[in-house]
Amino acid sequence: MNSTTQIAREAGRRRRRPSRGRGRWILLGASIGNRGLTLIEVVVATAIFAAVVFTLTGFYLTASSRGAEGRGETTAAFLAQQRMELLRSKAYSSLPGFAVVETVDELGSATPSGRFTRTTVITTPYLGTARLTKVDVRVDWLEFDQPGTITLTSIQVDI
C-alpha cells in the first residue's frame, strides 16, 4: 500500500458521518452522544434515585420494627407459658408459694438486667370454692419505648 492510497483512505474515514441512531442513548428526550449529560438531567436522575431509595428505606424500617415487635410478643408468650407449665407440674397445695414478681431474660433466667418482668398471681379460693385456684401469669416488656403485656390465665382444680 503506497502513501497516497493510505492518505486517501484516512481522508475518507474523516469525511464519514456517524450513523444515525447508533451509539446514542435517549434520556429525557435529549440525545447523548459525545457531549454527555446536561446538569438538569443529572439533577433529575439523582432526584428520582433519591425518591426510590427513600421509599425503600421506609419499607425496610417498618418491616424490621414489626419483626422486633413480633419477637417481643413471641418471647413474652414463651415466658408466660414456661411459668404456667412449671406451676402445672407442682402440687395443688404448694401453688400459693409461687406468687412472685421477677425480672427475667429471653430464656426465663432471673436476672436484674432482664428485659421482661414476669408476674405470677395466685388467687385461692376462686369463685368462693376452696378447691379452685386461679393462676395469672403476666409478662411485661418495653419494645422501642412502647410497653407490651401478655397475660395467661389458668384455673386449677384440687382433685
- Under 8 Å between Cβ of 41 and 30: yes
Lowest-confidence range among 40-44, 73-77, 124-128, 147-151?
124-128
pLDDT in tens, 25-64: 444 555 555 567 788 989 999 999 999 999 888 888 877 7
**Averaged pLDDT for residues 113-120:** 92
Domain ranges of the chain: 39-157
- Under 8 Å between Cβ of 136 and 120: yes
What's the pLDDT at 69? 73
**Averaged pLDDT for residues 110-138:** 90
pLDDT category, 77, cuts 50, 70, 90?
A: very high
**Averaged pLDDT for residues 122-139:** 89
C-alpha cell at 27: 434520556
Q: Is 74 helix (H, G, I), strand (E, B) or coil?
A: helix
| Angle, vertex CA 115, rays to CA 114 and CA 120, nearest 5 | 80
- Look up residue 109 and give its amino acid: S
Q: What is the pTM of this model?
A: 0.58
